[in-house]
Amino acid sequence: MSGRDRHSLKGASIHRWRLHRHHVALLYPNRHAVGMSNLGFQTVRRLFNQIPEWLCEMAFLPEHPHDPLRSFESGRPLQDFDLLAFSISFENDYLHVPVMLRAAGLPVFSEKRDETHPLVLAGGVACSLNPEPIADFIDVFLLGEVENALGRWAMLFENLQGRRRSSVLREMAVGIDAVYVPSLYEIAYADDGTIGSRTPVSPDIPEKVRTAVLQDVDASPTTSEFPASQGAFADTFLVEIGRGCPHGCRFCSAGFLYRPPRYRSFPVLMDSIRKGGRQGVRVGLLGTAVSDLPDLLPLCLEARREGIVLSFSSLRVDAITDELAAVLAGQGVKTATLAPEAGSERMRRVINKGITEAQIFQAARTLVRAGIANLKLYFMVGLPTETTDDVEAIVEMVRAIKVVFLEESRIHRKIGTISVSLNAFVPKPVTPFQWAPMDAANVLQQKVRIVRKGLGSIANVNLSVEPVRDSVMQGFLSRANRRAGVLIERAARPGAQWNEVVRQSGIKPDVETTRKRDYSEVLPWDFIDSRVKRTFLWREHLRALSEKRTPPCPSTACSVCGACATVIDRTGHDNGTHHS
């Protein structure tokens, strides 16, 4: 964002403050540049500002924990707002929630706040998967795809103004499907620290909270409000092509949380693309499965005809045809991203990736032959049942891709670069691997060393590795229960050291992260009805262990995982999925 844009953003909101009755501060629990690049955060800001008489301003993690927190636009203290709303995409940002509440001048724990404090709301992907680690800090969560639910929630909030806080929260929990009020549930723990029982405080409070779903994705296009300032999509106008993914990769939380798959139509997407084109920047198509978009090729051709440059998040290797590669190259795409995820066929069967070695090599060949000089490859280590052979297979696959890459590059007399991005696998809620153990840090580091050493002997291959320490923290926070809140709060105090705080807490993150869960265990997020049946996830878990493939969502009516049925049941009409 340019200085001029920032200035206009600020000036506009100072002027508008007095014209609005309700003021919400939208908090991103990380630095300004990270938050401004987040499409979900930008979308929630737009949704709040679309509600009549509501004004939404932003706030970001302060540079120093002692800095008082003020809104970005008008510089107001956060206590001036009626509502503080966190948008949280990544579990590791849970660590910043207490820092921001403290910097805003609020008590961190919700039970210590009263009618003199703004209400604290939270939502976003991380919360929709497992909000429990921050449940003690938040008054109310809104879970799932909130486009429609947010307006209804805001109306209820307005109607409840002046009521006691406890009564407001109770009305919200009873009144709207996707609302979760943590203080309205009592949790008993077994001797081993797992959840023994979870009980609503009264019979009118729902035992399960169903996530909100955006049934008609065309009715709510999701695009950048301002171009991202950093990351892979810097200075790019982002257009989300739809929600969900049909492929069922067993490690992918987005693939299960956002079921059923829904794609936006050609006219709606083209309108969004033109909006980006008018801003004179590149337009990035974003989604869990961009290459599954039925209208991808016509969209690319139309954008090219209108002189708009497109870019893409990763493409599935089985979707790359000569025609698509030629269109990408014609668009000026210099780097294509492929995600084999695992090196061996066996490992790809376990994770249900559904692509063969031959398809990966062919995709690399097709892209480079079309004139796309650079390839970026995503892999993971630490996947369930992984052996040393599977890890070494990553190196062998990159070596074989390099051979293909060189053969095709020579035709163009130009040799680009292969970049390998390596991450540790983190078991996520609402996936078939939610019961799986994560590798310990030392095991992951050993696996990273194997890949690093192997790739070190291949010229022109760059390796980037996400720090194992960050992945292990993510592994802990992703599946932690409410007791982790005390740990998070103490670790957020100025000068606190994580290891020391852990030692004093009696909680053992290393054990929690690496232990196997049984089907009978009550998982902290089991109270969330994400529409995909738990029995389906367990069946997929067992199929993973016996290396069995499960086909993608069919193009005809289906009731396999439960997601389509519940969406149709809730509305009484078709849900805008890909079914025909």
Binding residues (CB under 6 A) for ligand SF4: these are 259-260, 553, 558-561, 563-564
Q: How far is the CB of 360 from ligand SF4 (least distance, A)?
A: 25
Calpha distance 38→44 (Å, rounded): 10
- Minimum gap (Å) between residue 256 Cβ and ligand SF4: 9
In the complex with ligand SF4, which residue's Cβ is closer, 162 or 572? Answer: 572
Minimum gap (Å) between residue 132 Cβ and ligand SF4: 25
Q: How far is the CB of 261 from ligand SF4 (least distance, A)?
A: 7
| Count of other CB atoms within 10 angstroms of residue 168 | 21
Question: Which residue number, 477 or 563, has a Cβ lying nearer to ligand SF4?
Answer: 563
d(CA 60, CA 458): 42
Distance CA(482)–CA(332), nearest Å, equals: 49
Beta bridge partners, 28, equal 60
Comparison of 110 and 434: residue with beta carbon closer to ligand SF4: 434
Nearer to ligand SF4, 128 or 331 (CB): 128
Inter-axis angle of helices 147-159 and 39-50, nearest 10: 40
Angle at which helices 296-305 and 322-330 cross, to 10°: 30
Of all residues in the shown chain, the one whose CB is closest to ligand SF4 is: 553
Smallest gap from Cβ 206 to ligand SF4, in A, equals 23
Instruction: Please identify, using beta-carbon distances, which residue of 185 and 251 lies nearer to ligand SF4.
Output: 251
Q: Would you say 309 or 558 has its CB closer to ligand SF4? A: 558
The torsion of the CA quartet 430, 432, 437, 441, rounded to 10 degrees, works out to: -70
List, as one string, the DSSP characters of 248-304.
Answer: --TT-HHHHHTPSPEE--HHHHHHHHHHHHHTTSEEEEE-TTGGG-TTHHHHHHHHH
Q: Check if the beta carbon of residue 519 is closer than 8 Å to that of residue 525.
A: no
Smallest separation (angstroms) from ligand SF4 to the CB of 130: 21
Residue 441 Cα to chain centre, angstroms: 23
Least separation in angstroms between CB 260 and ligand SF4:
4
Q: How far is the CB of 543 from ligand SF4 (least distance, A)?
A: 13
Alpha-carbon distance of 213 to 258, in angstroms, equals 8
Residue with Cβ nearer ligand SF4 (47 or 289): 289
Task: Tell me whether residue 57 or residue 145 sits nearer to ligand SF4 (CB atom).
Answer: 145
Tell me how crowded residue 529 is: count the other CB atoms within 10 A of its CB: 20
Q: How far is the CB of 215 from ligand SF4 (least distance, A)?
A: 13
Residues in contact with 397: Cβ distance below 8 Å, sequence separation at least 6, in sequence order: 340, 343, 357, 360
User: Which residues, at least 6 apart from 247, have a Cβ–Cβ distance to it below 8 Å?
Assistant: 255, 289, 292, 316, 352, 353, 354, 552, 553
Q: Which is nearer to ligand SF4, 74 or 530 (CB)?
A: 530
Cα–Cα distance between 218 and 268 in angstroms, integer?
6
